[in-house]
Chains A and B, each alone.
Chain A
């Protein structure tokens, strides 16, 4: 039965209230207050789905809201001290900070909660008249017959697990706009759709991703050193796996501790979650945390491909910006300021498109002329050099970043998509992870509990299998079903209660919307779609 849908019309509809989308809306209202703008946000409130380190460079914020200090932006803790450690199993070697490339120096930056910055940006946007609708997921794109994007459709609410309407059924709406902006963050499901449909990634390197974990700990004052930023490389990862940790001493005796692992890892037995848990037991880290208490946990995929993988960012009737496109600066380990800048450039482009009828393709020119392009260009060779394993990569990065400042006359390529990198189990070495001690390391269940994630129980599963038999028929024997391990929330399980008939279980209610399964599944068999609006994690200060 065809559902009757109401429509609402705007000048601009923005999908996702993160730093990119919010900056787009603020900049648009600043240059043209008459525009009608709405932002759809699938989280139950702005910030609920935001997770980031975060050491924040204020460059874009300085341009967007120069008086952010007077307006009490939650950007307060200045970086005071920096450390970089190479970890061996029990030892650590401190790398002198003067030998770090300048992109990894943070003395002008701030330790922030990006979720709280987004909440503040949302207030600024609403004061300018932007309409923000948390709890509403943009589930589909509306096209006309000539493949122009006309807007988006919000998800239907109140559908049961069999796909039938419940008593509370509320059909989604068509939000029509002159320009749609996709700013869903890394691996947005609509962003993925438009990149395929319009072949925006043609002639680009395959996109690269990582999975990032973050925990917030409250620690005793004597261990706390407000403003200290520490990064590590090395243990527990082997030299062929790309990753490292961060440990930021924020205000109120809190420490933001996290781990990032490139999703191009090869061993199907590797469990990113357990690598992170194990990392915390290293003497250099354990001594910071041992008398503390873990108060938050979360995980999110991040986009690492950079310059080589950046797709074309305009299409008929729409732009794709921020991490949805891939503007993160990997060697800097920062994407917030570039996401914001990409949104601000989008705003200028959109306003000229609406008022002067200039094409949206102007976005690419404006982007090329801006500092964001220069930054990403200079950073481009760092991540791909890690294909040669840790030591050569560090030597190369030193030459590339310190001597040539990113201007070597060639560009390294990424060769494989992350889902292609796993080796079959018979060639892989099993990894034995230590048991969780409940003090420094925790099981997935108690971690997921801290995310506050929830989904209405009676709704269709939002993790779609193209072939429902594939996990058991193929992925289990070939890769020991790595979804059990790469999912940071325990969504996927193999039920072996019947020895001869294992079953693939999807606990969709646990999902924390990190998108790792959509990226890493070796046959690209899992597709993440939006669940009912307001579902997903409820991060507070991530």
Chain B
């Protein structure tokens, strides 16, 4: 079985994101970028499934600018086998991403797709669900445990009420929660080896997918800064302030 893992290059979670002065987007120049954290869990899970003898090849897919190759190399250094980069400008909407993934699935025919539950930059949390619809595959989102059996898998999902266990038929798509596992470090020798692993570079046109954005971004701005709180002496003062200063009652 092949496992397809999708990874996204995002602004590193330690970086304080800053809106550009002209409100056209966020500052990415010389900002540290890294792999979307839940995508690391997806890569780790694929490696564990392969190490347990239940898969024979792990393919890493990323969509974006040339530099996404670095993100793919990170996954290859963790132990994945080869990579595919679909070159595109960095604003590819989730539906376009799903269409591109479906195209890759047609040729690669994986038995399982793993991805992060959402990307920490746009927080869309749509790609897994839409890909599942386009492929007509079962989906198991927010996975915190994945047990692969013969032709089915038992997946534990993190949901609001607690944990939910679902049984899905193979092939299926899982989106991975941070609780799924602890991703490994890439060792130096493996980073060296990863440099020699193949990355296939494709384009959206070549795959026949129109990735033109359907949504127009009008303005990106920082949320308003919160006013400092004040201490009130008693309920009377509170009511007074709510009524005459805040004018909310």
Q: Do they bind each other? A: yes
Interface residues of chain A, those whose CB is within 8 Å of chain B, are 6, 8, 44-45, 47-48, 113, 115-116, 119, 131, 133, 136, 154, 157-158, 166-168, 170, 173, 175, 218, 253, 295, 449-450, 452-454, 538, 540-541
Contact with A along B2-36 (1 / 0, CB 8 A): 00000000001011101001000000001110100
Chain A, Cβ-Cβ closest to B74: A135
A6–B30 touching, CB < 8 Å: no
A6 to B187, CA, bound (A): 10
Interface residues of chain B, those whose CB is within 8 Å of chain A, are 12, 14-16, 18, 21, 30-32, 34, 182-185, 187-189, 191-192
CB of B15 to closest CB in A, whole Å: 5
| Chain B residues closer than 8 Å to A295, beta-carbon distance | 18
Of all A-B residue pairs in the complex, the 8 with the closest CB atoms, nearest first, are: A454-B14, A170-B185, A157-B185, A452-B14, A538-B32, A452-B15, A540-B30, A173-B188
CB of B150 to closest CB in A, whole Å: 28
Q: Does more than half of chain B's interface fall in helix, strand or loop, or is it mixed?
A: loop
Task: With A449-B16, A454-B14 as known contacts, state yes or no: A154 contacts B188, CB within 8 Å.
Answer: yes
A540 to B30, CA, bound (A): 6
CB of A158 to closest CB in B, whole Å: 6
| Chain B residues closer than 8 Å to A48, beta-carbon distance | 32
Residue among A44, A133, A158 making CB contact with B191, cutoff 8 Å: A133
A540 to B34, CA, bound (A): 14
A116 to B21, CA, bound (A): 20
A541–B30 touching, CB < 8 Å: yes
**Sampled A-B contacts (15; CB under 8 Å):** A6-B187, A8-B189, A8-B192, A44-B14, A44-B32, A133-B188, A133-B191, A158-B185, A173-B187, A173-B188, A218-B21, A253-B21, A449-B16, A452-B12, A540-B31
| Chain A residues closer than 8 Å to B12, beta-carbon distance | 44, 452, 538
A541 to B32, CA, bound (A): 10
A166 to B187, CA, bound (A): 15
A119 to B31, CA, bound (A): 11
Residue among B18, B31, B183, B188 making CB contact with A136, cutoff 8 Å: B188
A365 to B14, CA, bound (A): 45
Chain B, Cβ-Cβ closest to A171: B187
| Chain B residues closer than 8 Å to A540, beta-carbon distance | 15, 30-32
| Chain A residues closer than 8 Å to B32, beta-carbon distance | 44-45, 48, 452, 538, 540
| Chain A residues closer than 8 Å to B16, beta-carbon distance | 449-450, 452
B30–A168 touching, CB < 8 Å: no
A385 to B14, CA, bound (A): 43
CB of B178 to closest CB in A, whole Å: 14
| Chain B residues closer than 8 Å to A136, beta-carbon distance | 188
Chain A, Cβ-Cβ closest to B28: A540
A528 to B183, CA, bound (A): 28
Task: With A119-B30, A450-B16 as known contacts, state yes or no: A168 contacts B182, CB within 8 Å.
Answer: yes
CB of A217 to closest CB in B, whole Å: 12
| Chain B residues closer than 8 Å to A45, beta-carbon distance | 32
Chain A, Cβ-Cβ closest to B187: A170
CB of B167 to closest CB in A, whole Å: 27
CB of A77 to closest CB in B, whole Å: 15
Chain A, Cβ-Cβ closest to B33: A45
| Chain A residues closer than 8 Å to B30, beta-carbon distance | 47, 113, 115-116, 119, 540-541
Q: A47-B30, A170-B184 are in contact. List 17 more A-B contacts (CB 8 A).
A: A6-B187, A44-B34, A119-B30, A133-B188, A133-B191, A154-B188, A166-B182, A168-B183, A168-B184, A173-B187, A173-B188, A173-B189, A450-B16, A452-B15, A454-B14, A538-B12, A540-B32
A167–B182 touching, CB < 8 Å: yes
A399 to B182, CA, bound (A): 64
Chain A, Cβ-Cβ closest to B21: A218
A158 to B16, CA, bound (A): 26
A481 to B58, CA, bound (A): 54
